[in-house]
C-alpha cells in the first residue's frame, strides 16, 4: 500500500524535507506534542496529533479544539478610505462595514471567478484587517496593492500568529481569559489587550462550530497556545480534522470547491455579494454574477450524501441515474459526526434538487448518492447573546 502513507490528500504535495517550507511560530509546540507534520500552503503544518483525525474531529464538536492557522495571511489595509478602493476587487459591502464587525467575501477576477476567499474586519480605527488563505496570500497582496495604489497600502502582518478555538466549550474557555469574548456574537471582531498582549479576536471560524479566531504577536503565540491547552476542555487539533469539520459544515474550500473558474453564486454563496453591491454592479465580474443571480446558471454546488460504497473524493465523477456524467466532486470524504461519506460537487442546476438521487463514480463503480441540504451537520454560530 502506498498512496495514503506518504501523502494523505489534499495535504502533502511537497515533501516535508523541502527547505523552502516555512514554520509557524508554533512549529516546536506541534512537534513536541507528537504532531504528524505535513507540507501545506508552503508551511510545515500538523495534519493530526496523537489522537488522530476521527477523535480530534469529535472532540471539537463536543468540547473545544485549538488550531494553528498561522499559515493564513494577515494584513492591514491602511489609507484614506481603504474600503472604497478595496471594494473594486471584492463583492462585499466594506464601506458599510461597521466598526467591530467582520464580513466574508471573495476576491474576484474579471470573469467573476474567485481568486481567493477572505475575511475582512474593522476591529479598530486602523483601517481594515484582512485574513486570506495561506496558499494564495502572495498573489492576493499583489492584486490588492495594485488596486489600492495611491489610495491605500497593504501592510503584511508577518509577525503575527493566528489561533482558532472552536467548539461548544470555546466561549467558556476563552471567556475565562478574555471576559469581553462573552458579549461578542458571530462575526464580531475587536482589537483589545488579551493574554497580556495586543490581540485581534473575532467570533468566527471555519468548522461550523461556535468559536473564535485569535490573532496575537508571533512572540506570544506559544505561551498563549499553552495557556489555552492547560484547560482540560481544550485539545490541539490538526488540519485533517479541520478539513472534515468544514466539509460537514458545508463550507467550500478554496482551491477545491472554488477557483478562478467558479463564481461565488455557483459555489452556493450569494451572501458573499453584498446587497448594495448587487444594485451598483460596480465590481469585477458583475455581469456574470448578475446573470447568475437572476437564475442563468450552468452549474451549481451540490451537497451529496453517499448512500453506498466508498467515500467519493475530490475528482470523482458525478453521473445522473442513466449513468451520464454530469459533474465532478470537488471535496469529499468521511464525515465523523455525520456518520457517513459526504461530498461537495458541481452539477447543472436541474440535477441539484434536494432529495433526488445521483451517482458518484468511485474507482469505476457507480454508487448511489442523494442530494441533501447544506450543512451536513447543523452549524452552531452564536448570532444573539
Q: Does the protein bind other proteins through residue 5 (CB under 8 A)? A: yes
Does 331 contact other proteins by CB under 8 A? Answer: no
Rounded Cα distance between 277 and 135, Å, is 27
Pick the binder of other proteins from 17, 324, 363, 383 (CB under 8 A): 363
For 283, the 3-state DSSP assignment is coil
Give the separation between CA 102 and CA 127, rounded to whole angstroms.
13
Per CB under 8 A, the list member of 27, 29, 48, 91 interacting with other proteins is: 48
Report the residue from 172, 310, 361, 382 that binds other proteins according to the rule CB under 8 A: 310
Spatial CB neighbours of 150, under 8 Å, sequence gap ≥ 6: none
Asked if 9 touches other proteins (CB under 8 A), the answer is yes
Q: Work out which of 39, 240, 264, 268 binds other proteins, going by CB under 8 A.
A: 240
State the sign of the Cα–Cα–Cα–Cα dihedral 190, 193, 198, 201: negative
Which grid cell is 162?
493566528
Q: Is the CB of 184 or the CB of 341 nearer to other proteins?
A: 341
Query: Minimum distance from CB of 282 to other proteins (Å)?
Result: 41
**Beta carbon of residue 24, minimum distance to other proteins (angstroms, whole number):** 21
Residue 263 contacts residue 285 (beta carbons within 8 Å) = yes
First to last CA, the chain: 51
Our finding on whether 4 is near other proteins (CB under 8 A) is yes
Distance of closest approach, residue 250 Cβ to other proteins, in angstroms? 17
- Extract the C-alpha cell encoding 347: 452539477
382: exposed, middle or buried (Cβ count in 10 Å: 0-12, 13-18, 19+): middle
Q: In this complex, which beta carbon is closest to other proteins, that of residue 5 or of residue 324?
A: 5
Binding of other proteins by 206 (CB under 8 A)? no
Task: List contacts with other proteins (CB under 8 A).
Answer: 1-5, 7-9, 11, 47-48, 52-55, 57, 240-241, 243-244, 309-311, 313, 333-334, 336, 341, 363
Amino acid at each position: 500500500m502506498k498512496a495514503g502513507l506518504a501523502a494523505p490528500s489534499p495535504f502533502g504535495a511537497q515533501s516535508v524535507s523541502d527547505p523552502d517550507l516555512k514554520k509557524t511560530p508554533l512549529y516546536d509546540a506541534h512537534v513536541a506534542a507528537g504532531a504528524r507534520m505535513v507540507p501545506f500552503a508552503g508551511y510545515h503544518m500538523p495534519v493530526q496529533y496523537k489522537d488522530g483525525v476521527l477523535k480530534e474531529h469529535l472532540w471539537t464538536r463536543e468540547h473545544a479544539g485549538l488550531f494553528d492557522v498561522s499559515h493564513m495571511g494577515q494584513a492591514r489595509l491602511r489609507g484614506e478610505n481603504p474600503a472604497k478602493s478595496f471594494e473594486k476587487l471584492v463583492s462585499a459591502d466594506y464601506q458599510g462595514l461597521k466598526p467591530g464587525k467582520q464580513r466574508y467575501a471573495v476576491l474576484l477576477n474579471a470573469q467573476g471567478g474567485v481568486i481567493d476567499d477572505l475575511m475582512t474586519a474593522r476591529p479598530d480605527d486602523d483601517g481594515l484587517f484582512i485574513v486570506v488563505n495561506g496558499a494564495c496570500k502572495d498573489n492576493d497582496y499583489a492584486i490588492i496593492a495594485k488596486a489600492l495604489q495611491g489610495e491605500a497600502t497593504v501592510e503584511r502582518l508577518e509577525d503575527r500568529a493566528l489561533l482558532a478555538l472552536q467548539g461548544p466549550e470555546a466561549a467558556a474557555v476563552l471567556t475565562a481569559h478574555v471576559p469581553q469574548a462573552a458579549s461578542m456574537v458571530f462575526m464580531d471582531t475587536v482589537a483589545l489587550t488579551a493574554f497580556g498582549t495586543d490581540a485581534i479576536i473575532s467570533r468566527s471560524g471555519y468548522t461550523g462550530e461556535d468559536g473564535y479566531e485569535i490573532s496575537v504577536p508571533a512572540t506570544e503565540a506559544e505561551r498563549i497556545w499553552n495557556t489555552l491547552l492547560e484547560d482540560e476542555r481544550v485539545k490541539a487539533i490538526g488540519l485533517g480534522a479541520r478539513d472534515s469539520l468544514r466539509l460537514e459544515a458545508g463550507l467550500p474550500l478554496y482551491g477545491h470547491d472554488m477557483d478562478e473558474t467558479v463564481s461565488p453564486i455557483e459555489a452556493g454563496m450569494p451572501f458573499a455579494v453584498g446587497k448594495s453591491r448587487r444594485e451598483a454592479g460596480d465590481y469585477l465580474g458583475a455581469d456574470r454574477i448578475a446573470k447568475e443571480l437572476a437564475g442563468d446558471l450552468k452549474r451549481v454546488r451540490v451537497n451529496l450524501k453517499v448512500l453506498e460504497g466508498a467515500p467519493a473524493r475530490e475528482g470523482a465523477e458525478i453521473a445522473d441515474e442513466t449513468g451520464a456524467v454530469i459533474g465532478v466532486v470537488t471535496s469529499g470524504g468521511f464525515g465523523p459526526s455525520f456518520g457517513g461519506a459526504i461530498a461537495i460537487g458541481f452539477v447543472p442546476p436541474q440535477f441539484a434538487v434536494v432529495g433526488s438521487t445521483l451517482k458518484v463514480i468511485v474507482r469505476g463503480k457507480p454508487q448511489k448518492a442523494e442530494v441533501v441540504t447544506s450543512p451536513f451537520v447543523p452549524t452552531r454560530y452564536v448570532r444573539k447573546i
